[in-house]
């Protein structure tokens, strides 16, 4: 990742949302999928698996595709949401360490 002058003053979340929007979007959509399934009385597990299969087609990041592929085949697809969230956490840490970006 290269930071530009346009990124100055942004915090870690803002930089990630600007340069890698598919990560926070995927987390948000997965959480919404889980919440809607719960409210509708549908299987959360099956809903997340279907979400993952549909989302794989839309993302470009190989690590994110890998997490979604795992979600689609996992007995516990909800754990992949935590895995994606942890990846974003590592991205934030790298921004702080490498570029001195302030945490959100």
8 A C-beta contact, residue 37 and residue 43: yes
pLDDT confidence of 6, banded at 50, 70, 90?
confident
Element (H, E) at 90: helix 78-99
The pLDDT tens digits of the residues spanning 34-89 come to 999 999 999 999 999 999 999 999 999 999 999 999 999 999 999 999 999 999 99
Other C-beta atoms closer than 10 Å to the C-beta of 22 total 15
**Distance from first CA to last CA of the chain, Å, rounded?**
18
Whole-structure pTM value:
0.91
**Per-domain residue ranges for the chain?**
11-99
**Chain centroid, CA 96 distance in Å:** 19
């Amino acid at each position: 990742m290269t930071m530009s002058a346009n990124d100055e003053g942004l915090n870690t979340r803002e930089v990630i949302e600007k340069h890698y929007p598919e990560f926070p979007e995927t987390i948000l959509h997965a959480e919404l999928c889980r919440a809607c399934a719960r409210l509708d009385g549908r299987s959360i597990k099956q809903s997340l698996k279907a979400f993952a299969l549909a989302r794989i087609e839309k993302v470009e990041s190989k690590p994110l595709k890998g997490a979604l592929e795992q979600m689609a085949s996992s007995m516990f697809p909800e754990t992949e949401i935590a895995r994606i969230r942890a990846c974003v956490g590592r991205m934030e840490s790298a921004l702080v360490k490498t570029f001195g970006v302030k945490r959100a």
